């Protein structure tokens, strides 16, 4: 099976812009979670989607949002970018929030 794919892999934006990141889970996986990873804060949970519904959300401002499509693909959006949003954004999938999370390679976002 193909693994979790994320696009784009690298992105440079300026403050105030918005960005949309995409994640395609492993075939058959219906749960998709998003994480932000920074050197200072480590890996932090953003939100989890299952069957197009957000089931859980971490402690991030409303500028961070996401959605899931009927084919389980997911997107996350960050509006009004800030310098502190520079990070590696990781997507992980699982069958139905099983314990093991399968991570994608991440999207490296740099905000200038």
Partner 1 sequence: SQKIEQNSEALNIQEGKTATLTCNYTNYSPAYLQWYRQDPGRGPVFLLLIRENEKEKRKERLKVTFDTTLKQSLFHITASQPADSATYLCALDTGRRALTFGSGTRLQVQP
User: SS3 of 53, please?
Assistant: strand
34: Cβ contacts below 8 Å, ≥ 6 apart: 23, 45, 46, 47, 48, 66, 74, 76, 89, 90, 91, 92
Q: Which is nearer to partner 1, 16 or 110 (CB)?
A: 110
Which of 15, 55, 80, 83 binds partner 1 (CB under 8 A)? It is 55
Q: Which is nearer to partner 1, 43 or 83 (CB)?
A: 43
Greatest Cα-to-Cα distance within the chain, rounded to the nearest angstrom? 38
Which residues inside 64-103 make contact with partner 1, applying CB under 8 A? 88, 90, 92, 97, 99-103
Shortest distance (Å) from residue 71 CB to partner 1:
21
Residue 53 tokens read as 């519904």
Interface ranges with partner 1 (CB under 8 A): 4, 31, 33, 35, 42-45, 48, 55-56, 58, 88, 90, 92, 97, 99-106, 108
């Amino acid at each position: 099976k193909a693994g979790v794919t994320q696009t784009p892999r690298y992105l440079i934006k300026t403050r105030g812009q918005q960005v949309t990141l995409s994640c395609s889970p492993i075939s058959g996986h219906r749960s998709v979670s998003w994480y932000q990873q920074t050197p200072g804060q480590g890996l932090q949970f953003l939100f989890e989607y299952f069957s197009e519904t957000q089931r859980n959300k971490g402690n991030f401002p409303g500028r961070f949002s996401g959605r899931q499509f009927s084919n389980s693909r997911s997107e996350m959006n960050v509006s009004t970018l800030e310098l502190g949003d520079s990070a590696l954004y990781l997507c992980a999938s699982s069958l139905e929030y099983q314990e093991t999370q399968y991570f994608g390679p991440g999207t490296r976002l740099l905000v200038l």
